[in-house]
Amino acid sequence: MSDKKLWAGRFSEPTDAFVEAFTASVEFDQRLAPQDIRGSIAHATMLARQGILSAAERDAIVEGLEQILARIEAGQFAWSVAREDVHMNIEAALTEAIGEAGKKLHTGRSRNDQVATDIRLWLREEIAALRAELSRLRGNLLDLAEREAETILPGFTHLQTAQPITFGHHLMAWFEMLERDDGRLADCARRAKRCPLGAAALAGTTFPIDREYTAELLGFDGPCRNSLDAVSDRDFAIEFAAAASLLMMHLSRMSEELIVWSSAQFGFVTLSDAFCTGSSIMPQKKNPDVPELIRGKSGRVFGHLMALLTLMKSQPLAYNKDNQEDKEPLFDIADNLRGSLKVFADMIPAITPNRERMRAAALQGFATATDLADYLVRRGLPFRDAHEVVGKAVAHCVQAGCDLAELSLDTLREFSPLIEQDVFEVLTLEGSVAARDHVGGTAPAQVRRAIAEARQRLAGEST
């Protein structure tokens, strides 16, 4: 197999061996081989339709590329660093296999528009796979939320007990975060559906190509509208990194809550042994390694976003070699995001809520204090005055070591004569939760309504 450079005509000296290895990308961009071959088949098909290639040349190219893909998938293709990248490796192998026709494949295109097309094709497929995992995770969240629609859980602000909510309501907050993430991924995929092929190196080509036809063959919405932008644009990669960072941030927040909740100090949930590990020295330990690792991987993805932004920030138009550095962070983001989504989707059904511990925690910290203030407001007391009354009642309870619901009616009336026997209906956890019966509220009826509506939206995404 000859390793002669396909662009060597201009050069009188061979490339330095270290420079050759330093500038090569084939070790990581060979991952784009299926997309590269798919794009080449579409390009050859278009060239033949336009009379630039003969039908026989097209058929030889297509058959040769399909055979190369089969060798790659079987692990029988010999990648060469001397051939620099996935594109040159495949083109050289094609020429060796079919002769002169292989040399004609690159007519009317450049590696600049070729790689931009490959990455867009790859990213579209990757986003589809990620959204499938995200859909599975969201479906599992809905199942768990439905089972726990009435389970009382303390809601927190500043990690201090604030008001009682339901566990189902909390899980639906997670769902809302992930639904926005899915929308961002869908938007990113939509903006990546423009085809760079035909932009060539930067200015287009003198051959009578049909860019609309090539775009159609590859499932794009149409060609990129400007040749300079087509080869130099990496917005879609940065946008994906940004959407992935937001998604990983959400998974990290969810992981943090699972880590805290599964601790002995909280004991709200028990994670399945399948998603935990032990300690090499402390036999009692059950460590929530999966959510901890997802929490850690968020930083890795954030770093890649910054790397891609920095990569592009000072580049003049059009293509520059800097852009070779876009693929490794992009691949790593996708791999880690897909793994995190998969393991999270698997972990959710294996969570066991400890309902008694949740309820006991909700009884601490005066979670129904706001309900008492609202009660007084409904009886005519201005909210700020009601706030002060309840604050004094809470201070009394702190001194007495009891909860508001444990005070007698006579004691409560010492703080306000507006309080009557029916106050105890709002001081119960169930009463507090049920009273928030409006869209977005934590009342079990509203949680179930939100779940039903979410199921409809989720089903609509897959149709």
Closest to 239 measured CA to CA, from 190, 294, 281: 190
- Helix, strand, coil in percent for the chain, rounding step 5: 65, 5, 30
**Rounded to the nearest 5°, which phi and psi values hold at 162?**
-115, -70
Q: Is 250 a catalytic residue?
A: no
Tokens 């299926």 correspond to 34
Q: What is the pLDDT of residue 403?
A: 87
Q: What is the pLDDT of residue 441?
A: 96
Query: How many residues in total does the chain contain?
Result: 463
Catalytic residue among 2, 263, 272, 279: 279
Give the C-alpha separation, 319 to 53, whole Å.
27
pLDDT bracket for residue 328 (50, 70, 90): very high
Q: Is 279 a catalytic residue?
A: yes
Q: In this model, does residue 66 exceed pLDDT 90?
A: yes
For 290, what's the count of Cα atoms within 13 Å in the CB-facing half-sphere? 21
Spatial CB neighbours of 231, under 8 Å, sequence gap ≥ 6: 110, 112, 113, 116, 196, 199, 200, 201, 202, 318, 319
Give the C-alpha separation, 76 to 93, whole Å.
12
For residue range 184-207, what is the model confidence (pLDDT) as tens digits? 999 999 999 999 999 999 999 999
Closest to 179 measured CA to CA, from 238, 137, 148, 146: 137
Burial of 449 (0-12, 13-18, 19+ CB in 10 A): middle
200 torsion bin: left (phi>0), alpha (psi -120 to 50), beta (else):
left
For residue range 221-263, what is the model confidence (pLDDT) as tens digits? 999 999 999 999 999 999 999 999 999 999 999 999 999 999 9
Q: Catalogue all structural domains in the chain, each as residue range(s) with its CATH number.
A: 11-107 (1.10.275.10), 112-147+166-204+225-360 (1.20.200.10), 363-461 (1.10.40.30)
Give the C-alpha separation, 263 to 260, whole Å.
5
Structure tokens at 455: 């199921």
Give the C-alpha separation, 332 to 312, whole Å.
18
For residue range 15-30, what is the model confidence (pLDDT) as tens digits? 677 777 788 899 999 9
Tell me if 383 sits within 8 A of 377, measured CB to CB. Answer: yes
CA angle 396, 398, 399 (to 5 degrees): 65
Q: How many CB atoms lie within 10 A of CB 7?
A: 10
Structure tokens at 286: 């059950």
Closest to 87 measured CA to CA, from 144, 45, 32: 32
Catalytic residue among 158, 280, 314, 408: 158
Give the residue, 209 or 4, on which the prediction is more confident: 209
What are residue 194's DSSP bridge partners? 222
pLDDT bracket for residue 4 (50, 70, 90): low
- Which segment, 18-32, 58-72, 399-413, 429-443, is predicted with the most confidence on average? 58-72
pTM: 0.91
Q: What is the pLDDT of residue 279?
A: 77
Tell me what the mean pLDDT of segment 90-109 comes to: 97
